[in-house]
């Protein structure tokens, strides 16, 4: 296990280094970093002074070495718009996004897991058809449309829940439901397929032949191996929810890092963009490391295979 964990940590460090290099390169390939920062009508002297102040007048290789050295210590410079450390701006919004992501994943696992297990226990029946239909509906509804409808129904007409912001725990409900709709549907379909395949194995038929009740067979013999594909998907989906929930945070005016990144792109606030990308990449790497460890616990053959 120690060797397995050491290999994953080395891989994580390489990924973070690659992400930092990629974001630096893409930012400089997209044009002059000062294009959206210099006020219209500024003189060449003012532009040159600002370029020197931000150290953008130095050779690109020197800028890259300086960027990597500071990024290794969590320093991405000062936000060009907010005039404070870019990392502080990202970390200030991070708890709100983590709370939204945790609520969405928890809801997706609860709803999707219930639908998948219910459908997988009786494939081909009426329950399977209803659960599959609900899952397809969840995958088909766009997040921005679902979020708008939820606001109109539960915030505007019924006045049960707040429509925006993050001032109380109830503010999480509508954005979490919107964000959880797609992963819940996919979890349901993946778990159903995996469960149907697992229930066809010989050891499951043997357990049934011993006279065990259906739920005991599911819980004790079929559910654990059937969870592996779902667990892998959840690991990927957490990364998507952390970095890709920009639309949902925009619809609900939710003060998370996704909305911050959207504003930073509009303002061309490059230090904030760089800090956002690296922080999200670090969280994705951490989540996938946890998923790998859980997968090894569920199926020790994974650990044995990696050692071999």
- What would the pLDDT profile of 152-161 be if each residue is shown by its tens digit? 999 888 888 8
What is the pLDDT, as a whole number, of residue 19?
85
Domain residues of the chain, as ranges? 92-269
What is the pLDDT, as a whole number, of residue 305?
46
**Which parts of the chain register pLDDT below 50?**
304-308
92-269 belongs to CATH 1.10.3720.10: yes
What is the pLDDT, as a whole number, of residue 152?
92
Distance from C-alpha of 97 to C-alpha of 105, rounded to nearest angstrom: 12
């Amino acid at each position: 296990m120690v060797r397995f964990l050491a290999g994953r940590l080395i891989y994580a460090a390489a990924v973070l280094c690659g992400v930092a290099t990629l974001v630096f390169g893409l930012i400089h390939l997209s044009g002059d970093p000062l294009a959206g920062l210099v006020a219209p009508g500024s003189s060449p002297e003012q532009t040159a002074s600002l370029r020197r102040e931000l150290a953008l007048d130095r050779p690109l290789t020197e800028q890259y070495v300086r960027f990597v050295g500071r990024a290794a210590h969590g320093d991405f410079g000062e936000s060009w718009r907010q005039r404070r450390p870019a990392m502080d701006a990202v970390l200030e919004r991070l708890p709100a996004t983590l709370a939204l992501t945790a609520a969405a994943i928890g809801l997706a696992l609860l709803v999707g897991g219930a639908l998948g297990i219910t459908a997988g226990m009786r494939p081909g029946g009426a329950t399977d058809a209803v659960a599959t239909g609900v899952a397809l509906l969840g995958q088909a509804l766009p997040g921005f449309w679902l979020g708008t409808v939820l606001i109109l129904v539960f915030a505007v007409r019924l006045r049960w829940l707040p429509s925006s912001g993050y001032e109380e725990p109830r503010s999480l409900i509508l954005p979490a439901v919107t964000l959880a709709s797609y992963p819940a549907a996919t979890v349901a379909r993946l778990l159903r397929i995996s469960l149907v395949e697992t229930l066809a194995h010989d050891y499951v038929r043997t357990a049934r032949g011993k006279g065990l009740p259906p739920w005991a067979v599911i819980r004790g013999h079929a559910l654990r191996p059937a969870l592996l594909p779902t667990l892998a998907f959840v690991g990927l989906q957490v990364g998507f929810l952390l970095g890709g929930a920009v639309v949902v945070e925009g619809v609900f005016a939710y003060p998370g890092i996704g909305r911050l990144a959207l504003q930073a792109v509009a303002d061309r606030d490059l230090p904030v963009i760089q800090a956002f990308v690296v922080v999200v990449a670090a969280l994705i790497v951490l989540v996938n490391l946890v998923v790998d460890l859980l997968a090894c616990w569920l199926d020790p053959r994974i650990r044995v295979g990696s050692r071999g």
